[in-house]
Structure 1
Amino acid sequence: MPVYCITGTNRGLGLEFVRQLAQSSDNTIIAATRSLSSDLGDLKTVASPSTHILECDTSSVASIHSFVKAVSRTLGDDKKIDFLLNSAGVNLASSQSSLNLGPDEVQAQIAVNVIGPAKTVEFLLDAGLLSKDVRVLNMTSGLASMQLSSESKPRKCAGYSISKAALNMLTVHQSEDLKQHLPGAVVILMDPGWVKTRLGGAGAMLEPSESIGDVLGVLHNLGSEDNGSFFHHSGKKIPW
């Protein structure tokens, strides 16, 4: 009976993760959302009886600390997290280029897209809440690929791309560092594709159900040889 912990579940891809995983009563789901006082109607609609909705603002280190304590109380002594899906993310001021980056927007994106996943893994590990063979999925973007970005014209979402490229490097480090504590751990990056969410926009090509269905297929078939890999939702590897 696997345990999934997912951030950013009140909408978008995080919500779709919960919708698909909640279809099996075998799955225990920790559904993290930025605020319990926000509109959680969609999340509560798709949640199963074994889904636990907890607050976690991934832009706040203090909130992540409180979240980990709540996870510990929720799981008790018998359960640990088998799949950690760092899905929360923001794309702010997408029209900004490298020539007019707003420092506040860049820092806000790094706080959520980089520091959030870093501290979530760190604090859950320190609390002894990750299983010995945990799978950690950090949600990134094709816009974080140096090679693909260099081949793309015009280039877009500079601040978002920069923050996700930083997430990619974080993941490279996590994939080695986490194994020093949990030898069976596998940490990967996932590009979900251009998905029809609030972040992806109306012009996106993929439905959330298709993207996340593919992502879960990859996730559930990871082996030790995949540690530190950068995947497209189709299962293909993406160039750095």
Structure 2
Amino acid sequence: MPVYCITGSNRGIGLEFVRQLAQNPDNTLLVGVRSLSSDLNDLEAVTSKNPSAHILELDVSSEDSIKAFVKFAEDILQAKNKKIDYLLNSAGVNIASTHNSLNLVSENVHAQIAINVLGPAQLTASLLKAGLLSNDVRVLNMTSGLGSAQLSIDNKSNQCAGYSISKAGLNMLSIHQAHDLRAHLPGVVVGLMDPGWVKTRLGGSEALVEPKHSVEGMLSILHGLKDEDNGSFFHYDGKRVPW
């Protein structure tokens, strides 16, 4: 009866993770959304048949929101005598996708780093400090091929510069987490995941991959992570992504 914690769950890839995981009534879900006042109709419909799904407010750009989320999660898990087995850091933003390195707006870059890098860093650290992560927890950080220096060179990428910078930062964070968490949780495995160009609001109308297909692939990889995969970078189809 595993416990999943999923961020950014009210739409896109996060919602699809919840949709697929909620189908198994044995799964306990801690479902984080940026605001409980958002449109949660789709999410509530997905979770309505799973009594162990808990929708909680979680704005990963806010330390206060993270602290409040951890406290709610602690209350839920202590009552069940459980810990988090899978932490899916899927919340993310891509602001001003047409910007390149010559017209970056500092406010936009800071916002993307706050959500895409510092959010997963602070949430993971806070859950660890509260003792809510299992000894062999799997941490999935949702990155992008745009965060790969090699792929950016190969594809001559010159847009989404702020987003790419933030995802490259998330990649480096994940490598550090893979090392640092091992000092506390000997069985932990941290994995980075490129979901592909997915047909979501963030991915845009020209995207190629259906959310269902992407998430099915990522869950297969997540559930198959081995000790030697700690700090590895995967594409949703299982291929390794170059740094």
Count, aligned residues: 240
Whole-angstrom distance in 1 between the partners of 2:43 and 2:61? 20
Give the Cα–Cα distance (whole angstroms) in 2 for the partners of residues 102 and 62 of structure 1.
Answer: 26
Alignment of 1:193-232 (within 5 A): 193-232=196-235
State the shift of 1:151 in Å.
Answer: 1.1
Specify which of 131, 154, 177 is matched with residue 174 of structure 1: 177
Residue 71 of structure 1: aligned partner: 73
Matched to 2:60, the amino acid is T
Aligned partners of 2:180, 2:167: CA distance in 1, in Å? 19
Identity of aligned residues (%): 65
Q: Find the counterpart in structure 2 of residue 46 from structure 1.
A: 46
Counterparts of 2:241 and 2:157, CA distance in 1: 20
How far residue 91 of structure 1 moved from its aligned partner, in angstroms, is: 0.1
SS in 2 for 1:90: coil
Query: Which letter maps to 2:46?
Result: V
SS at structure 2 position matched to 1:76: helix
Aligned to 1:127: 130
Structure 1's unaligned 5+ residue stretches are none
2:99 and 2:205 mapped to 1: Cα distance? 19
Alignment TM-score, normalising by the size of structure 2: 0.98
How big is the shift at 1:154? 4.5
**CA distance, structure 2, for counterparts of residue 155 and residue 224 of structure 1:** 36
- Given the two structures, how large is their TM-score scaled by the length of structure 1? 0.99
Q: Which secondary structure state, in structure 2, belongs to the residue aligned with residue 37 of structure 1?
A: coil
Gaps of 5+ in 2: none
Distance in 2 between residues matched to 1:210 and 1:20, nearest whole Å: 11
Amino acid at match of 2:3: V
> 1:155: Cα distance to partner?
2.2
- The answer as to 2:91 corresponding to 1:88 is yes
Cα offset for 1:202? 0.8
- Residue 32 of structure 1 aligns with an amino acid whose one-letter code is G
Where 2:141 maps in the other structure, the secondary structure is strand
